[in-house]
Amino acid sequence: MTSKKLAVLVAVLVAVVPPASLAQGTSGAQFLGVGVGARAAAMGGAYTSIADDGTALHWNPAGLTRVDGHRLTLSHVSWLQGVKYNYVSYAAPFGRDAGIGVALEQGGADSWDNTGEGSFETGDFAGVVGYGRRMSDDIGVGADLKFLSSSLGDHGASSYAVDLGVLYSVNDKASVGAAVRNLGPGLTFESGTDPLPVTMTLGGSYRWHGVLLSMDLEKANDLSATTRVGAEYAPVRYLDLRAGWIGGDETALSGLTGGVGLNWNEQWAVDYAYRSSDLGGTHQFALSAGFGGGGVLATTEAVSDEEDLPVSSVPRSNLDVISELTEEVMAEAVARMGLPEGSRIHLRQVDTHDASWLIKSILLEELTSRGHAVKAGLMAAAEDPEDAYEIAYRIVYCQTSLPRSWREWVVGARKFERRTAVDIRFELSDSTKAIVWAGGVQRERREIIPGGRLSDLEAPGQAFASPQVEPGGWDKIVEPVIVAGIVGGLIYLFYTSRSND
């Protein structure tokens, strides 16, 4: 059903684009094509399915539905040929299923000469207000309205534009998004009207073994199709490394991108981005601040609550932890049943599970320790006296998992978060087969364990107590290659920038 909703929303976005947006030509208000946010710029602008703060007003207004707390973003760009560009935005949740945002964009150059008739001052301004709303848990839509003003020497013009966007969360690792930007009448100067740079984008992102990968396909009315690719990796806490690539027929603007981000207290971040092209390099800086939410780390796999988890230098085995939690579950459940002393009880498991043998043995032990007479199995049920109770139980969850891993330093020992959970549902019936009590009992334990102990903690042959390691066995090869590639790309961009200067 969600796939059908997504298809309809994308179709609506495509349908509202005027035919002129597909034509080739030279547009006005070119400052609208300058990407905002150093994180997005470092990832090649492949940000349509990622935007989750005030920069969503530029990339995809549906991203306002993902805003966590109050977000303030300040961005400065040193663009081509001395052009400067500034951006400030604020975004926050609006009710339970919506988000709002406002932004101001300002740019220009003190002297500009692209006609050969002498230099003149240029200036651009945009005020933006946006709104996003979740249509379901997986789909969000958004729109924003822009007031535009542009000046060329002694001449000026103003107009307005609308952006539309949609986001679809495929799962906790993958997202897709689509947006149409800068729909509206053009800027009218004395010499004529320049159309706005209407832009259509379709993008997706996926988190693979701690690396966030993204790709956008973009089509503007005055440029041929552009491909944007980006990646982000956090080798250590507080540090993000980013790289990207922009490709298209307009090769002068194509090139590599890269950058770094420093974050702390899960709320503040300073980001830098560099973009290379045949026309020269550009630099972008951004400061992000968050208040009242999960912080700027919400979109990464950095460990945000590491301090809240106990650290087990000599951890117990997975099977021991599961057994202990199961014992707690059984003790609470039997106590809540209120069985008469010395009751005759028949056990019936509703369905099968890999941990059935463990659950059954612990439940038997708990009941017999309380003085009850217990039998299990179909034959036992037929032989039970008429005054016997029946306990039917279903194992909802009984598993150890390793939801995330990290390193304190690039070459440091890997740490894992171990999550062990047991969830069992019960029904108690009396001799008349009437249900006299029903309920579920859950237990969960989370802790940090050293990666070098993983194999010692597993229970061979018991899948529920032997979780798969994420990332997998290729981790020792893939991680150094990724880190070396990103760092090498940044070094290349640095020396390219110096030679261009």
pLDDT digits (tens, 9 = 90+) for 289-327: 876 554 333 333 333 444 467 777 678 999 999 999 999
Neighbours of 71 (CB within 10 A): 28
Q: What is the CATH number of domain 307-470?
A: 3.40.50
Q: What is the pLDDT of residues 11-29, one digit of tens each?
A: 434 333 333 333 333 555 5
Inter-residue contact 239 to 213 (CB < 8 Å): no
The more confident residue out of 12 and 147 is 147
**Can you tell me the distance from the alpha carbon of 114 to that of 382, in angstroms, rounded to the nearest whole number?**
94
Residue-wise pLDDT for 163-203, tens only, equals 999 999 888 889 999 999 988 887 776 666 778 888 899 99
Low-confidence winner among 339-348, 388-397, 457-466, 492-501 (lowest mean pLDDT): 492-501
CA pair distance 250, 317, nearest whole angstrom: 58
Neighbours of 43 (CB within 10 A): 30
Highest mean pLDDT (candidates 2-6, 29-33, 192-196):
192-196
Provide the angle, in degrees to the nearest 10, between the axes of the packed helices 356-369 and 318-337.
Answer: 50
- The amino acid at 492: Y
Q: Is the pTM of this model over 0.85?
A: no
CB 46 within 8 A of CB 229: yes
CA distance 31 to 492: 27
- Work out the pLDDT band at 94, boundaries 50, 70, 90: confident
DSSP label at 372? -
Domain coordinates of the chain in residue numbers?
A: 2-302+485-500, 307-470
Pick the closest to residue 170 from 141, 211, 209, 138 (CA basis): 138
Give the pLDDT of residue 3: 44
Report residue 5's pLDDT band, with 50, 70 and 90 as the boundaries: very low
Q: What architecture is the 2-302+485-500 domain classified under in CATH?
A: Beta Barrel (2.40)
